[in-house]
Amino acid sequence: MPTSLAKAEKAKADRADGETATTESGATVKMASQKDITVAAEFERKDRVEIYKTYLMFCMTGDVVQLPMGGTIVVERDETEFARLSQLGDLLGLNQMDVYEVRRGGCAR
């Protein structure tokens, strides 16, 4: 497991239990932390859906190799990109219906 991922998992576990800190006087206090970050208020829904759609197309494409004579071939898809896609949907503040519409191919509302 990469060290950055291990640190993130530890931080997530700490937040679930409530992070604690020791003050100068030696008292232990629970610290609250921000758990959810979204940019839903910063962008229009149409823009958020377009960002999600663009990243979905990136995930679906996989690693593309250019062949001679203008041909291309998809080598493999990185499945971890789909986990990041889910996180992006949460970050963008998209609900399940928005995600469904993007995956279905339409985004009219």
Q: How confident is the model at residue 24 (pLDDT cuts 50, 70, 90)?
A: low
The tally of domains found in the chain comes to 2
Which residue would you say has higher pLDDT here, 89 or 25? 89
Q: Which residues lie closer than 8 Å to 40 by C-beta, 6 or more apart?
A: 48, 92, 93
**Residues 82, 50: one domain?**
yes
| Whether residue 53 is found in the same domain as residue 64 | yes
Tokens for 12, please give them: 């997530």
Comparing 65 with 22, which gets the higher pLDDT?
65
What span, in angstroms and rounded, lies between the C-alpha atoms of 80 and 73?
20
Average pLDDT over residues 16-26: 60
Residues 52 and 8 in one domain: no
Distance of alpha carbon 33 from its chain centroid, rounded?
19
Same domain, 31 and 46: no
Same domain assignment for residues 46 and 96: yes
Residue 73 has pLDDT above 50, yes or no: yes
Give yes or no: residues 22 and 55 share one domain. no
Q: For a pLDDT cut of 70, what percent of the chain falls above it?
A: 65
Whole domain around residue 86: which residue ranges?
38-109
Residue-wise pLDDT tens digits, 43-63: 899 999 999 999 998 888 777
Residues 6 and 53 in one domain: no
Residues 44 and 77 reside in one and the same domain: yes
- Using the 8-state DSSP alphabet, how is residue 26 labeled? S
Residues 92-109: tens digit of each pLDDT: 989 889 999 998 885 544
| 101 shares a domain with 72 | yes
Same domain for 48 and 90, yes or no, is yes
User: What was the pLDDT predicted at 108?
Assistant: 45
